[in-house]
Chains A and B, each alone.
Chain A
Amino acid sequence: MVRIRTNFSTPFDSRLPWMAGSCWALAFAALGLGLLLVFNMIRLGKEVPDLQKAWALAQQTPEARPLEGSLVSTQEREALRRRLKKINGLDAGKGWAVPALLSRLERAMPPGVRLVSLQQDTILGQAQLVVESAHLEDLTRLLASLEKDQAFQEVELVKQAQAKDGEQGRIQFFLNLQEGTP
């Protein structure tokens, strides 16, 4: 069964007010967007002179200029390198400064032990020292104390001897120390 639905006009119904309302809403949205675009356009337009200035400045960045006069000669460069090597050699040792070493030894030495001599190679970080005491036990304690000290990588008893100056009962230890990191 068929109902006739021919029409010479464009049909619309009660949804027309809603459709019209939607169209108005769209129109307002488009207007708002348009205003936003215009505002942005004006703002960008104001930024143009600053941007042009920045661009001009960027265009003027100086190029690398050639060095005036002659370059450094090979001989001069070699001499400079040698001097630099010497300077580097002055403080390139692995050892401690003498006051630092003495401070360590002072803390490690038990009472009754005295330092007779000290030789330090700051380049290699090595020290040879001679200590003496009236008692062997004091020297043994010193050795144990030095070995415990993390500041010394290696402690070596090279020689043990009687004091040469004739003092009776004085014993001397000859020690080699390998210093650790300061």
Chain B
Amino acid sequence: MLLSWIDSFWPRPGDRPCLGLALGRRRLEAARVRWEGGAAQVEWNETVPLDRELFTAPPSLDLANYLAGRLAPVLAKERDRYLILQVALPDPAMRAEVFELAEAPQGAKALREFLAWRLKSGPEPGLEVTGQFMGKAQGKELLLGTAFDGRWIAVIREALRVHGLQASLIDGAFSRRFNFFHDTFAARGGGGALVALERDYWSLVVWDEALRPRLVRAKWWAPGPGEASPAEAAALEVERTIRSYVYSGKGRGVNTLFLNAPGDWMPALSEAFRRRAAGACVALDPGGAGATASRARDIRPFPTAALAVAW
């Protein structure tokens, strides 16, 4: 839960280097970012495949050790150095919703109870919640609430603790991507949507004219036989979701659809989404948002989530 005094501890732009870890179902991506001359430079990035599936079932007891073992080669690069560590959680494993409230819960405890009650989908234990007020729209308070299975967060914390680390930020990948491309969205203006396709899930964030997130949807994706990318399936579902958002309230609109995906998926995705978005579709490149590679030999295609969380 965000408290004003905690805000002062948020990493600032000069607080680099920062190591970002983005977790997926079958992979883990890491990127190290250094701040130099007013620009962020990616020093290296790494993708670690996982042979055990994460987030789709309750975690087993030995999973923290397994994850710690997979993290070891990545973290060995940063041994004995002080750096900020931030972790992005996969969007499909997270519940995120924007509430329109006539009256906002007063106090952190009341807010936490409200979010736990609204975001709880079943009798799962230890749901962790966090939220942020985003101002008023049509006389109602907008509250972004997110929830994650506390057992999985405990596994991640334990895996990092094995290496003597503690993350200063653990949050959904969608929020990191939204912040990473924030200036690009602001320059375009109006309401918009970002479709991000990771290797094992797709994620959609829709924002209003005041650039406030209003809708978050995400889904795991597994390629079918002969299927290279989830382009068609994702495009269909995204279109349906955006239409339901636009028609569910007055003054709602999505002027631009932004796309972010691995480079090899982008041509097919752009084609599929351009057809549905009537041309108002912009492909996003992390390099276009200011990220540059400090040493080309250490950089593989930018993993957006890992890069965004290290921003």
Interface, chain A (partner B; CB < 8 A): 1-17
A9 — nearest CB in chain B belongs to which residue? B170
Q: Which residues of B contact A10 (CB under 8 A)?
A: 6, 9, 168
Interface, chain B (partner A; CB < 8 A): 2, 6-7, 9-12, 14-15, 82, 84, 87, 89, 128, 130-132, 134-135, 144, 146, 148, 153, 157, 166-172, 175, 178-179, 182, 186, 210-213
Docked complex Cα distance between A17 and B179 (Å): 27
A2 x B213 contact (CB < 8 A): yes
A6 x B182 contact (CB < 8 A): no
A3 x B148 contact (CB < 8 A): no
Q: A1-B186, A6-B132 are in contact. Are A13 and B170 (CB under 8 A)?
A: no
B9 x A12 contact (CB < 8 A): yes
B131 — nearest CB in chain A belongs to which residue? A6
Docked complex Cα distance between A32 and B82 (Å): 30
Q: How far is the CB of B84 from chain A (nearest CB, A)?
A: 6
Q: A6-B130, A7-B169 are in contact. Are A13 and B210 (CB under 8 A)?
A: no
Q: A1-B186, A1-B211 are in contact. Are A6 and B172 (CB under 8 A)?
A: yes
Docked complex Cα distance between A6 and B170 (Å): 9
Q: How far is the CB of A52 from chain B (nearest CB, A)?
A: 53
Chain A residues touching B, majority SS = loop
Q: A11-B168, A14-B84, A17-B82 are in contact. Are A2 and B135 (CB under 8 A)?
A: yes
A14 — nearest CB in chain B belongs to which residue? B15
B168 is contacted by which of A5, A6, A9 (Cβ under 8 Å)? A9
Q: Which residues of A contact B167 (CB under 8 A)?
A: 9
B169 x A4 contact (CB < 8 A): no
B6 x A8 contact (CB < 8 A): no
Q: Which residues of A contact B144 (CB under 8 A)?
A: 4, 6
Q: Which residues of A contact B172 (CB under 8 A)?
A: 6
Docked complex Cα distance between A17 and B15 (Å): 12
B15 x A11 contact (CB < 8 A): no
Q: A7-B169, A9-B167, A9-B168 are in contact. Are A1 and B10 (CB under 8 A)?
A: no
Q: Which residues of B contact A7 (CB under 8 A)?
A: 2, 130, 169-171
Docked complex Cα distance between A48 and B238 (Å): 84
Docked complex Cα distance between A17 and B81 (Å): 12
Q: How far is the CB of B227 from chain A (nearest CB, A)?
A: 32
Q: How far is the CB of A163 from chain B (nearest CB, A)?
A: 121
B14 — nearest CB in chain A belongs to which residue? A14
Docked complex Cα distance between A15 and B182 (Å): 26
Q: Which residues of A contact B7 (CB under 8 A)?
A: 5
Docked complex Cα distance between A61 and B138 (Å): 89
A6 x B6 contact (CB < 8 A): no
Q: A2-B134, A13-B12 are in contact. Are A8 and B182 (CB under 8 A)?
A: no
Query: Which of A2, A4, A12 is most buried by chain B, counting CB atoms within 10 A of its CB?
Result: A4
Q: Which residues of A contact B212 (CB under 8 A)?
A: 1-2
Docked complex Cα distance between A146 and B169 (Å): 114
Give 19 new A-B contacts, CB below 8 A, not counting A3-B179, A8-B130. Answer: A1-B211, A2-B210, A2-B212, A3-B178, A4-B175, A4-B179, A5-B10, A6-B131, A6-B144, A6-B146, A7-B2, A7-B130, A7-B170, A9-B166, A11-B6, A11-B10, A12-B9, A13-B168, A14-B84
Q: How far is the CB of B195 from chain A (nearest CB, A)?
A: 17
B15 is contacted by which of A5, A6, A8, A13 (Cβ under 8 Å)? A13
Docked complex Cα distance between A15 and B15 (Å): 9
B128 — nearest CB in chain A belongs to which residue? A8
Q: How far is the CB of B207 from chain A (nearest CB, A)?
A: 8
Query: Which of B134, B157, B167, B178 is most buried by chain A, counting CB atoms within 10 A of its CB?
Result: B167
B128 x A11 contact (CB < 8 A): no
Q: A11-B168, A13-B84 are in contact. Are A5 and B2 (CB under 8 A)?
A: yes
